[in-house]
Amino acid sequence: MSTIVLLLVTGLGLGALYFLVAAGLSLIWGLMRVLNFAHGAFFTVAAYAGFFAATALPASPWLQWFVGLLAGILAGGVFAVLTEIILIRPLYRRPVGQVLVTVGLALATLALVEGAFGSDPRQVTLPDWMNATTTLLGAAIPNTRFVVLLLAGLVLAGLLFFLQRTRYGLIVRAGVENRSMVSALGIDVERAFTLVFAIGGMAAGLAGVLGATYYGTIDPSRGTTMLISAFIVVVIGGLGSITGSALAAAIVGLLQQFLNFYAAAGVGDFAVVILLAGVLLLRPGGLLGGPAT
């Protein structure tokens, strides 16, 4: 029983990280039809920015952690906005070109981070409370899992509020539905492009720092792994659907944790790909997506 509870919470925590990366990917895809390969780079850069901001500050561990979190979100957001303005914007009329520049950016960033900070994982210092565990239904669960889950839940609620209740959210939703109609109505959709990149970058930045909290280490290559899992999550959940991404992220995280534990290491990762193939065969638009476009 306690093992099941532990796997449940850990799997959901992993799913929360996937969701944070996938949410931005899904919005960017939905609105701009850009498959952003640089999203993993946002994650990685934010993880390192958070790490160095935290270690540079002679303060209490909690304050350090918090500053690292803010620095990561900021770094992810700024990096994403710069990417959109400098690289994506000149290519608005060349969709494949947009994918290609993000590929180049992903490769170059990964190489630069590896060159500057080495490819070995670095240990992250956390507040004592986060290294401790809480007993829940007989299972000793690391407290970091709750932190990750709580923050991802807040982001989900915030995103839904933004999309459903604000004017800009309305523009984004309408743009996902029919972009040319929105510009025909005289609304500057391109400003919304920068906005979704900023939101997506900040969410990926948050995921970068939370990933460091979750695993206790940072390394340059985790962003790529996260990106691929997030791709899978986005497709399973339905491109452009935030709730779909949240649901799919939970399913993928749980499936990985349970099968990697009960079957064998690696089986969970494999099963996720099989699930992806199954979903595409039965519902090509994803769980909560419309018809495939």
Partner 1 sequence: MSPRFATFAIAALGLLAAGLPFIGLTVPGLFEGPLNSPGTLNLLGLCFVFGALALTYDIVFGFTGLLSFGHALYFAVGVYVTAIALVRWHWSLPQALALTALVALVLPLALGAVCLRVRDIPFAMVTLAFAEAASILVLQNPYGLTGGEEGLALGSGVLPAGLIGVANTAHLYWIATGVLAATGAIGWWAVHSPPGRVWQAIRENERRVAVLGLNPYAYKLASFVLSGFLAAVAGVAYLLLQGGANPQITTANFTLVLLVMVVLGGVGTLWGAVIGGIVYEYLDFRLLEFSNGSGLQDLPAVLRVPLSEPLFILGVLFIVLVLFLPGGLGGLLRHVPRRLPRPSG
Q: Considering only residues 211-230, where is the footprint of partner 1 by CB under 8 A?
A: 224, 228
Q: Counting contacts by CB under 8 A, is residue 111 touching partner 1?
A: yes
H or E element: which one contains 259? Answer: helix 242-262
Give the Cα separation of 235 and 230 in Å (integer). 9
- Closest separation in Å from C-beta 235 to partner 1: 5
Q: Counting contacts by CB under 8 A, is residue 105 touching partner 1?
A: yes
What are the contacts of 157-163 at 24+ separation with CB within 8 A?
159/23, 159/199, 159/203, 159/242, 160/242, 160/243, 162/199, 163/242
Q: Counting contacts by CB under 8 A, is residue 160 touching partner 1?
A: no
Q: Considering only residues 113-152, where is the footprint of partner 1 by CB under 8 A?
A: 114-116
Residue with structure tokens 């952690």? 65
Q: Counting contacts by CB under 8 A, is residue 187 touching partner 1?
A: no
Nearest to 148 by CA among 35, 21, 30, 279: 21
Residue with structure tokens 């992903």? 106
Residue 141 φ/ψ, nearest 5 degrees: -110, 130
* Residue 172 vs 232, nearer CB to partner 1: 232
* Residue 1 vs 265, nearer CB to partner 1: 265
Parallel, antiparallel or unpaired: strands 139-142 and 122-123: unpaired
**Interface pick for partner 1 out of 44, 231, 287, 288 (rule CB under 8 A):** 231
Q: Considering only residues 63-102, where is the footprint of partner 1 by CB under 8 A?
A: 87, 89-94, 96-97, 99-101
- Closest separation in Å from C-beta 129 to partner 1: 34
| Only segment of 33-41, 50-58, 72-80, 153-161 that touches partner 1 (CB under 8 A) | 33-41
Give the Cα separation of 103 and 231 in Å (integer). 14
* Contact indicator for 207, 43 with CB cutoff of 8 Å: yes
* Residue 187 vs 280, nearer CB to partner 1: 280
Number of other residues whose CB lies within 10 A of the CB of residue 67: 16
Contact footprint for partner 1 (CB under 8 A): 29, 33, 35, 37, 87, 89-94, 96-97, 99-101, 103-112, 114-116, 224, 228, 231-232, 234-235, 239, 265-266, 269-270, 272-273, 276-277, 280-281, 284, 292-293
